[in-house]
Amino acid sequence: MIYNLGRLSSVMDSQGLDMLLVSTRENINYFTGIRPVVKELNPYYGECYVLICRQQPDIVHFVHSCGECDQLTESRTPIGLVHTYGTFYRELPDQSLLRDDEVAIHRWTSNSARHLNAQQALLTLLQELGVTPSTRIGCDEDGVSHAALASMQAQFGEASIILASALIRQIRRVKTPYEIEMLTLAARCNESAIKCVAEAVQVGISELQIGEIFESAVVRLGGRPELTMIKIGRAAVGGQRRQRADITLQHGDLLWFDSNTRYQGFWADLARVYAFGDVAPATAQRYAALREGMLHAARSIRPGMSGKDVFHLTMDCVRSNGFPEYRRHHVGHGIGHEAYERPILMPGEDALVEQGMVISIETPYYEFGLGALHLEDPLVIGPELNTFLTMDPCPELGVIATSSFR
């Protein structure tokens, strides 16, 4: 299974849920492997729903837009009932021409239950699955339209609808082998694109050009650029703004990457720093301390620790390795179908680290006049040994000598 079936069943049992209604783009992707086009085209009002029953948690039932129902042929999870809505035309002059996948698309387009809108389709599907006022439906409220939620409450009673978006995030925290494989590919796509930039840059290249090289490499490697935070020198202190054509690479600059990409819906959040030319001893010392904090965290994190435990052990290590004034509000976060998942490694975070989580560990530092020093790599938590997903995790400060400038 692409999703954590045991964890799903455990949560549904513990909460007394008979069904789970999944509605957000990320959660639909998690349970089916499909990234619904209707959610991309219309993120605020587009509707696609997946229903999972407690008795058959390895089968998904769909409510989907008729026009995009061909996406269901890509589901990685067995499909049960399908109810489509809306109007769309796929002509069939000769039924003998249909292939197997086209038979399904034709059925969902023309021959299955179709409805005027998603609310009607959802209510009918729930009725077909045997929902009664005593049925407890866990509702992924983050992506359900107000109209759909109101119609379910009116039809089955408010007590039947249990808000469950937080429960789904809880299910998703521990990754399956498939998820770890995808997160590895996402991380290595990002990492390889960074290396492509490092090999291509020269004195005078602009931030804008660097961003274009990075994003082209990500696409070439099968990924999707999301947040391309790459900045030159002191400009990295304001890292969230867009790249600029008038900021160019010069001798002595630091080149900072805090790049976010997605691969098949899975996020990668990596950070690297390259120095162009000489590095001040104080900068090198601080970078080494940040790196040691990363390595110490990777060696020390164990299942059962809280997010705040990891924060403090990481910060203590950085400070004791020659950077006593280091300050930071968090040193990492869970990652998966969302860029930021719990636990957040920060003071006050009581959520626990669990075996099978993937956590993006980071130790950033920003200084006016300098820019940024930053390392970040994803780490899968094992029972005793943790493993980075990147090929070259926590590298020493990359220095490109003056002689390499063209």
CATH number for the domain harbouring residue 213: 3.90.230.10
- Whether residues 163 and 184 share a domain: the answer is no
Domain count, the chain: 2
The string of DSSP letters for 187-228 reads HHHHHHHHHHHHHH--TT-BHHHHHHHHHHHHHHTT-EEEEE
- Whether residues 203 and 163 share a domain: the answer is no
Residue 30 belongs to domain spanning: 5-172
Determine whether 207 is exposed, middle or buried from the number of CB atoms within 10 Å of its CB (0-12, 13-18, 19+): buried
How much is the pTM?
0.94
Query: What per-residue confidence (pLDDT) applies to 406?
Result: 46
Q: Which of 151, 172, 193 is the last residue of a domain?
A: 172
Backbone angles phi, psi at 298, to 5 degrees: -60, -35
- Whether residues 140 and 268 share a domain: the answer is no
Backbone angles phi, psi at 103, to 5 degrees: -60, -45
Backbone angles phi, psi at 342, to 5 degrees: -80, 150
Query: What per-residue confidence (pLDDT) applies to 398?
Result: 87
Query: What per-residue confidence (pLDDT) applies to 277?
Result: 85
CATH number of residue 165's parent domain = 3.40.350.10
CA 99 to CA 101: how far, in whole Å? 6
DSSP-derived 3-state class of residue 9 = helix
Q: Which of 172, 191, 209 is the last residue of a domain?
A: 172
Q: Which two tokens stand for residue 406?
A: 């063209």
- Whether residues 236 and 306 share a domain: the answer is yes
- Whether residues 191 and 285 share a domain: the answer is yes
Query: What per-residue confidence (pLDDT) applies to 399?
Result: 87
DSSP-derived 3-state class of residue 6 = helix
Residue numbers in the chain where pLDDT is lower than 50: 404-406
Name residue 400's beta-bridge partners.
Answer: 276
- Whether residues 147 and 15 share a domain: the answer is yes
Per-residue pLDDT of 349-359, as tens digits, reads 999 999 999 99
